[in-house]
Amino acid sequence: EAQVTQNPRYLITVTGKKLTVTCSQNMNHEYMSWYRQDPGLGLRQIYYSMNVEVTDKGDVPEGYKVSRKEKRNFPLILESPSPNQTSLYFCASSLRSGYQPQHFGDGTRLSIL
| Buried b or exposed e, range 36-57, using 16+ CB within 10 angstroms | beeeeeeeebbbbbeeeeebee
Q: How far is the CB of 44 from other proteins (least distance, A)?
A: 7
Q: Return the ∠ at Cα 33 (arms to 36 and 93), rounded to 5°.
A: 120
The residue among 52 and 80 lying less far from other proteins, judged by its C-beta, is 52
Choice between 3 and 82, CB closer to other proteins: 3
Nearest to 13 by CA among 93, 104, 108: 108
Residue 113 in contact with other proteins, rule: CB under 8 A:
no
Site residues (CB under 8 A) for other proteins, limited to 34-93 = 35, 40-45, 48, 50, 56, 58-59, 90, 92
Cα separation, 102 vs 50, in Å, equals 13
Q: How far apart, in whole angstroms, are the C-alpha atoms of residue 86 and residue 112?
A: 5
Which of 81, 105, 110, 112 is close enough to bind other proteins by CB under 8 A? 105
Region of 17-25, 63-71, 76-84, 104-112 interacting with other proteins (CB under 8 A): 104-112
Residues in touch with other proteins (CB under 8 A): 4, 31, 33, 35, 40-45, 48, 50, 56, 58-59, 90, 92, 97-107
